[in-house]
Chains A and B, each alone.
Chain A
Amino acid sequence: MTDTPASNVPEFSVSEISGALRRTVEETFSLVRVRGEISGFKRHSSGHLYFALKDAEAVLDAVCWRGQAGRLACVPEDGLEVIATGRLTIYPGRSKYQMVVERMEIAGKGALLKLLEDRRKKLTAEGLFDPARKRPLPFLPTVIGVITSPTGAVIRDILHRLAERFPRRVLLWPVAVQGEGAAEQIAAAITGFDALAPGGAVPRPDLLIVARGGGSIEDLWAFNEEVVVRAAAACRIPLISAVGHETDTTLIDFAADLRAPTPTAAAEKAVPVRADLLAQLAETGGRLTGAATRGLSLRRERLDGLARALPSPRAAIEDRARRLDERAERLRLALPTLLLRRRAEVDRLAHALARAVATAKARLERDRLRLTQTGERLKPAVVRCLAEHGRTLDTQAKLLESLSYKRVLDRGFAVLRGEDGTVVSSTHGAEPGQALSVEVKDGRIAVRVEGTPRKPAGKARTDQRQADLF
């Protein structure tokens, strides 16, 4: 052994110095929060997580034992900037130090929002937020499942608003809504409700509400976790998400069938207002009765109206009976009236006949009288008449005699006649050579015309002279 200043420095074995270093590090850094980006993330089959935290300058190995790994508030992945909480330790066998992570949270709002956006895009691409997946909410659910913290204002607000609008049966599935393991609990509750068989001991809700009050983005982070989003998307019961305040949006809102801005609003979306329904039902019921009554009275009125328009058979019969009676009466009266009229006619004719006979008799009498009288006057009248005619005849005969041409013959005149006896009173008809007869007072002389008369007047005279001469 040499006593040199250098030798004053205590000498450690490797194990000793390693152990001393390990103690120093572990005592000094028994609880640290380290901010860095996850890199080289590896999940070992044992359940332990191995990764590194790094920044621009340095790298820090880290491990998360299985017991803690399931309870992390966020799921580690490469590129995620986190704040890891844990302790530093040294692994002497490899001269390496590392951080044993017990809790982990996402670091910084910007990083969180980026992660959120990336995840949203990824799940959207998977079709989890497809509008076609949305189920309509039941109008009036019978059983409502609520997934939220059993303590706090949220469940109270929901129950209060439900009671106000329409009291329903509510099944509360208590979960942690933030912190480690919250996402897994929420997802398990959604899946658990969905797994209930209809008609089982625990009634299957027909509507789910997943709710949480307001908080920071970190507080609400469980509702952004894939496991929750996937459970909500897969759930066959219509689901309302109501996480945070109106301005907060978490990924479960995209997967839910309806997003309510607040837990109270979720209760309002869940059930209608009972009083409104009662009023509406009363009104509809009233209309039903009214319409039925009105329908009947309307038909009654129409029937009455038609019945009025329909001629009454009794009236028709009565009318006909009246007309029949009237005719029967007229018939009954007709014969006597006719006989009476005929008798009057006969009487009138008989009288007329008697009058006519009397008149005729009187006229006959008168005529007979006149005949008798006339007859008595007839004979003297005839005698007188004959006598008168006789006298007249005499007178006429004398006159006739006095006018006869024979008297002229007596006085020397003659009548010249043709062969046919016609009187020739001019030269006409006295042709030369013609035979004529001349009548004189005591007989006739036959003569013949001589020569040819040159002119009628002279010849006749000549002829007469010649006749005379002859």
Chain B
Amino acid sequence: MAELPADIAALSFEDALGELDRIVRALEGGATKLDDAIKAYERGALLRGHCEAKLKEAEARVERIVLGTGGTVGLEPALPSQ
């Protein structure tokens, strides 16, 4: 896939999905000009890839806040006691 444009990369999953949905509706409506339709499809494909990437980031990582001296906040891996 082509380099993800910055404006798409900055989108939240929800916003990207919302825009993808609008593009699909517009394309399904069939009223788009051909050039616009192709551009819309390309953007839709990028949005879809972005959404998929967002969904792939499904790593569960649990860390625990540790307070250092002077109120600094740090992290340490935490496996909560079962």
> Do these two chains really belong together in a complex?
yes
A contacts, CB < 8 Å to B:
138-140, 142, 150-151, 155-156, 159, 162-163, 166-174, 189, 192, 196, 201-202, 274, 277-278, 280-281, 284-285, 287-288, 291-292, 294-295, 298-299
Inter-chain contact B55/A274, CB cutoff 8 Å: yes
**Which single member of B12, B30, B34, B41 contacts A139 (CB below 8 Å)?**
B12
B58 to chain A, nearest CB (A): 5
Please indicate the chain A residues that have their CB under 8 angstroms from the CB of B24 in the complex: 284, 287-288, 291
Question: Which of A138, A162, A278, A288 has the most B CB atoms < 10 Å from its CB?
Answer: A288
B contacts, CB < 8 Å to A:
12-14, 17, 20-21, 23-24, 27-28, 30, 32, 34, 37-38, 41, 44-45, 48, 51-52, 54-55, 57-65, 73-75, 78, 80-82
Question: Which of B14, B30, B34, B64 has the most A CB atoms < 10 Å from its CB?
Answer: B64
Please indicate the chain A residues that have their CB under 8 angstroms from the CB of B30 in the complex: 294-295, 298
A299, closest chain B residue (CB):
B34
Please indicate the chain A residues that have their CB under 8 angstroms from the CB of B64 in the complex: 150, 171-172, 174
**Which single member of B55, B60, B75 contacts A159 (CB below 8 Å)?**
B60
Inter-chain contact B60/A172, CB cutoff 8 Å: no
In the complex with contacts A281-B52, A284-B17, A284-B20, A172-B80 CB distance below 8 A: yes
Please indicate the chain B residues that have their CB under 8 angstroms from the CB of A277 in the complex: 13, 17, 51, 55
Please indicate the chain B residues that have their CB under 8 angstroms from the CB of A169 in the complex: 59-63
In the complex with contacts A192-B65, A196-B73, A284-B17, A295-B37 CB distance below 8 A: yes
In the assembly, what is the distance between CA of A86 and CA of B50, in Å? 62
5 A-B pairs with least C-beta separation: A167-B60, A139-B14, A291-B27, A292-B41, A173-B65
In the complex with contacts A167-B59, A287-B28, A150-B81 CB distance below 8 A: yes
In the assembly, what is the distance between CA of A347 and CA of B1, in Å? 93
Inter-chain contact B34/A156, CB cutoff 8 Å: no
**Which single member of B27, B58, B60, B75 contacts A171 (CB below 8 Å)?**
B75
